[in-house]
Chain A
Amino acid sequence: MGNSIEKRAIVIVGGGPAGLAAAVAAHEAGERDVLILERDTQLGGILNQCIHNGFGLHTFHEELTGPEYAARYVAQVDELGIERRLGTMVLDISEDRVVTAVSATDGITRIQAGAVILAMGCRERPRGALAIPGYRPAGIYSAGTAQRLVNIEGQLPGREVVILGSGDIGLIMARRMTFEGAHVQCVAEIMPYSGGLKRNIVQCLDDFGIPLLLSHTVVDIEGRDRVEAVTIAEVDERMKPIPGTERRYPCDTLLLSVGLLPENELSREAGVELSGVTRGPVVNERLETSVPGVFACGNVLHVHDLVDFVSQEAAAAGRSAAAYVARGEDAAAQRVDIVATDGVRYTVPAYLSGSDLDQDVTLRFRVGGVFRDRYVSVYLDDERVRHAKKRILTPGEMEQVVIKADQLRERAPHTVTVKLEEE
């Protein structure tokens, strides 16, 4: 390993949907020196295995599959001549933005970046993180692993299937496994509501008569070498299994779709402050983390349900990074805190760098329960400036609300509050 350090204006960690959109936007904002580092052998990230449709209605105004959506962005990156290094894994990011990466062809390389964009995406919550008793036999897969096996490798992981957790990938795999000839017995969800999109419950479960058992969980897994059966029980409001409600489902496969976790090992090493709620970096309206010049977007920042919003967010991060490289650090202004309360679990951004902003701010958030006929309200200090009626809000669906830059400038609030109100 030599001592020479390569210098690049913007280094993007991850070539999935967030990294691609950030790269295109940074280039379009005038920054020509952009480098994408991707550990896989192709760009596109998780979209490559998401072969179902429903992507791109906001971005391209048509319904695309995951690989098609990715290909649109890869084509733009190709056309703009943006450099990418595949098979390249980032090992470390320092607080002063030195990125250390390794690849089979180049060995270990060090790059001094003017700005870094974190776009590493997320990981599935593994079984180990769940308290399910029993042996650890073969036949238990995260839904995304099963998705990769079926869609990329062409292997069917099992024939009699039970799915624990109603995240979108689990719902999508219920349909996918059905198409491939497997029998999906049910989807058990410990919460009293689904963690996935409503449309996926309709088109992936209801269409095939697959029951969704809300307030149910797996209490036992049988089998030493291979899964032989699972036992599912109803849970009470404290999520404790209710005795007498157990039912045994003979099966050879258990898929887990129990949540996604932003993948922030590198961010943590870089000294980036992380949120206990989103598990992603705490960012301002420029999507800049607590480390100056380090930006974050996509599922590494907070888990999204729509790739279109990942692309929008990532484009904003790309523009911010380009501006940072061009202008340098902004003078410190009076930070404006954003308070998420009354059903709103968090907002991204989590605070504003000041009130004198030149662009409207899109706040993305999730709610902590199922709410019907509520208003999403935004207060600048004590004054309500937004009051939007929603028929239904659920934890499975990300929401957004826009704060106008001119209102922020006029009122110069100390605090912005986002909450749900009954009227």
Chain B
Amino acid sequence: MAQTRELTCIRCPMGCALTVELDDSGAVTSVTGNSCPRGAQYGRDEVTNPVRTVTTSMPVVGASHAHMVSVKTQTDVPKGKVFDVIAALAGLTAQAPVAIGDVLVHDVAGTGVDVVATSNAR
């Protein structure tokens, strides 16, 4: 049956209060309350296929100062895969030099998404 979902958009710190309307088949018929197209997309995704960007860090060896290099999934991954991504990264170590944007892990946890560095370690 038709339903309404109230969500808080997480695409940016504005945190818009979204109202997502779904029809009988569960298809999204409208998203309101968003202030940008990203919010509309978030509203649709969150009720059908929720996704998250994973950010974490991993140890780096061979750098002059840094012990850790921060990393993120290059794009969103399915929300249900977040802990698989974290588990796949556990125990991995990066080798300096690392520059922002370097791919450190290809196709992490079978998501098809790469893990890239978000800080420099020289």
Report A's interface with B, CB cutoff 8 A: 41-42, 48, 51-54, 57, 63-65, 67-68, 71, 150-154, 176, 179-180, 197-199, 201-203, 207, 305-306, 391-392, 397
In addition to A41-B65, A154-B67, 18 A-B residue pairs with Cβ atoms within 8 Å of each other are A51-B56, A51-B72, A53-B72, A57-B11, A63-B11, A65-B72, A65-B119, A68-B100, A68-B118, A71-B119, A151-B57, A152-B66, A179-B86, A199-B10, A199-B14, A201-B8, A202-B15, A397-B15
Closest beta carbon of chain B to A20's beta carbon, Å: 16
Select which of B12, B56, B66 is within 8 A of A57 by beta carbon: B12
Select which of A71, A179, A306, A397 is within 8 A of B56 by beta carbon: A179
- Which of A48, A51, A150 lies at the interface centre, i.e. has the most chain B CB atoms within 10 A of its CB? A51
Closest beta carbon of chain B to A27's beta carbon, Å: 23
Assess whether B120 is interfacial by the CB under 8 Å rule: yes
Closest 8 CB pairs of A and B: A198-B15, A51-B70, A67-B119, A199-B10, A65-B118, A57-B12, A199-B15, A154-B68
Interface of B is mostly: loop
Assess whether B22 is interfacial by the CB under 8 Å rule: no
Q: Are B100 and A71 in contact (CB under 8 A)?
A: yes
User: Given the complex of chains A and B, what is the CA–CA distance between A197 and B54 in angstroms?
Assistant: 19
A65 CB contacts on chain B under 8 angstroms: 55, 70, 72, 118-119
Report B's interface with A, CB cutoff 8 A: 7-15, 17, 33, 52-57, 59, 65-68, 70, 72, 79, 82, 86, 100, 118-120
User: Given the complex of chains A and B, what is the CA–CA distance between A179 and B58 in angstroms?
Assistant: 12
Select which of A63, A151, A397 is within 8 A of B12 by beta carbon: A63
User: Given the complex of chains A and B, what is the CA–CA distance between A57 and B79 in angstroms?
Assistant: 22
A176 CB contacts on chain B under 8 angstroms: 56
Select which of B12, B57, B67, B79 is within 8 A of A199 by beta carbon: B12
Q: A65-B70, A153-B67, A202-B8 are in contact. Are A71 and B55 (CB under 8 A)?
A: no
B8 CB contacts on chain A under 8 angstroms: 198-199, 201-202
- Which of B11, B15, B54, B79 lies at the interface centre, i.e. has the most chain A CB atoms within 10 A of its CB? B15
Q: Are A202 and B59 in contact (CB under 8 A)?
A: no
Q: Are A51 and B15 in contact (CB under 8 A)?
A: no
B67 CB contacts on chain A under 8 angstroms: 152-154
B52 CB contacts on chain A under 8 angstroms: 203, 207
- Enumerate 23 A-B pairs (CB-CB under 8 Å) in ascending A order: A42-B65, A51-B55, A65-B55, A65-B70, A67-B118, A68-B119, A151-B57, A153-B68, A154-B57, A154-B59, A179-B86, A198-B15, A198-B17, A199-B8, A199-B10, A199-B12, A199-B13, A199-B14, A199-B15, A201-B8, A202-B10, A202-B15, A397-B15
Q: Are B13 and A54 in contact (CB under 8 A)?
A: yes
